[in-house]
Structure 1
Amino acid sequence: MSFDISLISNYNTGMESRDIISLIAKIREKVNRFIVAEMVKYGIEDVGTSHGDILYALFKSHRLTMADVSKRINKDKSTVTALVDKLVRLGYVIKERDREDTRVVYVALTRKGIELKPVFESISKDMLDMFYSNISDKEKEDLLHILKKIDNNL
């Protein structure tokens, strides 16, 4: 289903609060562009930002079931399958069936996938340094609190 974000920004809620959703979308686009540009600097041109959540989940737990990956990154199983299959083709992860229950499929990082971790950590640090420049700890806390409330409302 496609949704036009401009429909929300045209909704009159007063005090320009309707611009918040548009601003969040613009920030997300800028963050994604930054990440892609940084990955290119490291010579990583085959991994998209959509693969990042999967790789981060695997950096924390080197082996997960496909169902666990789906839950952790909050994406449906078919989407996760397509993303993981591409990571398999690129050599970053492997898929293994459980020996006792063949319905269960595990995903694990390969050596090539593990080698991405310091690169991703560096890009994340640079992104967060830029993202939070000129923002106080109190403002960070307030922003996180408000965004969590919004997330819970949806």
Structure 2
Amino acid sequence: MKYDNTINLISRIRELSGNVIVSELEKAGVAGIVPSHGDIIVTLIKHRELTMTEIAERIKRDRSTVTTLVKKLNKLGFTDTKKNELDQRSSLVFLTPKGRELENGFKEISEKLYSIQYEGVTEEEREVFRRVLIKMHDNFNKRVL
């Protein structure tokens, strides 16, 4: 049986990077947001307003998960929803002024994560690493979907 701890390492990196994100948000005085909210906020910064389905597709999450996360962001005052004029069956999610205030902080946190992630890693190593991760992702994606 072949064994290595690659999946465990990826999981630990995800957990540790999440800890950095939460810590940086706390330092910035932002309470209640967790890393899973970040995907939604960043997507809305980029696209202004989207339906729940569009958000789910862009962040690769179930629509029900996105709905739960958006409800929490609404409760915290970072997002809000309105009826979609093009399709009355759906709502559009958008950032409130309070939510838009997060943009600069999110950029700074992103830059910090990037610098931690690649500290001591050459450009060539980064490229090889990304190519291998993409292949691994695709291998699992083929089996799951």
TM-score, length basis structure 2: 0.93
In structure 2, C-alpha distance between the alignment counterparts of 1:51 and 1:126, rounded to whole Å: 18
Question: What CA RMSD, in Å, does the superposition of the two structures yield over aligned residues?
Answer: 1.0
Identity %: 37
Q: Which residue of 1 aligns with 2:36?
A: 50
Gaps (5+ residues) in structure 1? 1-11
Does 2:92 match 1:106?
A: yes
Amino acid across the alignment from 2:113: M
Q: How does 1:110-125 map to 2 (within 5 A)?
A: 110-125=96-111
Does 2:69 match 1:83?
A: yes
Q: Which residue of 2 aligns with 1:13?
A: 2
In structure 1, C-alpha distance between the alignment counterparts of 2:68 and 2:39, rounded to whole Å: 14
Q: 2:124 aligns with which of 113, 118, 138?
A: 138
Q: Which residue of 2 aligns with 1:127?
A: 113
In structure 1, C-alpha distance between the alignment counterparts of 2:106 and 2:48, rounded to whole Å: 15
Gaps (5+ residues) in structure 2? 141-145
In structure 2, C-alpha distance between the alignment counterparts of 1:147 and 1:100, rounded to whole Å: 39
Name which one, 1 or 2, has greater alpha-carbon Rg. 1
TM-score, length basis structure 1: 0.88
Q: Once superposed, which parts of structure 1, at least 4 consecutive aligned residues long, lie more than 4 Å away? A: none
Whose RCO is larger (CA < 8 A, sep 6+)?
Answer: 2
Q: Which residue of 1 aligns with 2:81?
A: 95
